[in-house]
Amino acid sequence: MSLKSNGQPRVPLVQTVGLKRYFHSKPGILARALAGEKERTVKAVDGVDLFVHEGETLGLVGESGCGKSTLGRVIVGLYPPTAGEVFYEGRPGTGGQMIFQNPYASLNPRHTVRQILGVALEKRGVPLENREEESIRLLERVGLAAHHLDQYPRQFSGGQRQRIGIARALAMRPRFIVADEPVSALDVSVQAQILNLLEGLQEETGVSFLLISHDLGVVHHMSHRVAVMYLGRIAETGPTESLFENPAHPYTRALLSAIPRLGKTRSGRIRLEGSVPSAVDPPPGCRFQTRCRHRKDICAAVDPPAVELRGDPGHVVWCHLHT
Site for other proteins in 248-277 (CB under 8 A): 254-255, 258-266, 269, 271-272, 275-276
Q: Residue 244, interface with other proteins (CB under 8 A)?
A: yes
Q: Residue 111, interface with other proteins (CB under 8 A)?
A: no
Among 221, 253, 295, 322, binds other proteins (CB under 8 A): 221
Partner residues linked to 177 by β-bridges: 97, 209
Among 17, 192, 306, 321, binds other proteins (CB under 8 A): 192
Site for other proteins in 284-303 (CB under 8 A): none
Q: Residue 195, interface with other proteins (CB under 8 A)?
A: yes
Q: Which stretch binds other proteins (CB under 8 A): 11-19, 82-90, 169-177, 191-199?
A: 191-199
Among 97, 106, 202, 240, binds other proteins (CB under 8 A): 240
Choose between 84 and 314: whose C-beta lies nearer to other proteins.
314
Contacts of 57 (CB under 8 A, 6+ apart): 202, 208, 209, 210, 211, 222, 223, 224, 225
Contacts of 197 (CB under 8 A, 6+ apart): 142, 143, 163, 166
Q: Residue 188, interface with other proteins (CB under 8 A)?
A: yes
d(CA 149, CA 108): 14
**Residue 149: which of 159, 164, 162 has the closest Cα?**
164
Among 193, 295, 313, 314, binds other proteins (CB under 8 A): 193
Choose between 51 and 251: whose C-beta lies nearer to other proteins.
251
**Residue 58: which of 13, 90, 119, 104 has the closest Cα?**
13
Q: Which stretch binds other proteins (CB under 8 A): 84-92, 109-117, 182-190, 302-310?
A: 182-190
Rg (CA), the chain: 21
**Residue 134: which of 160, 163, 172 has the closest Cα?**
172
**Residue 186: which of 148, 220, 225, 157 has the closest Cα?**
157
The amino acid that residue 137 corresponds to is: R
**Residue 274, Cβ density class (10 Å: 0-12 exposed, 13-18 middle, ≥19 buried):** exposed
Site for other proteins in 162-181 (CB under 8 A): 163
Site for other proteins in 41-70 (CB under 8 A): 63-64
Closest contact distance (angstroms) between CB of 206 and other proteins is 20
Closest contact distance (angstroms) between CB of 299 and other proteins is 19
Q: Residue 157, interface with other proteins (CB under 8 A)?
A: yes
Task: Kindly determine how many residues on this chain lie close enough to bind other proteins according to the rule CB under 8 A.
Answer: 42
Closest contact distance (angstroms) between CB of 124 and other proteins is 25
Q: Please provide the size of the chain in residues.
A: 323
d(CA 110, CA 140): 22
Q: In Å, what is the CA distance from 277 to each residue of 66, 232, 248, 287? A: 10, 11, 21, 9
Site for other proteins in 86-105 (CB under 8 A): none
Q: Which residues bind other proteins (CB under 8 A)?
A: 63-64, 143-144, 157, 159-160, 163, 187-193, 195-196, 214, 216-218, 220-221, 240-241, 244, 254-255, 258-266, 269, 271-272, 275-276
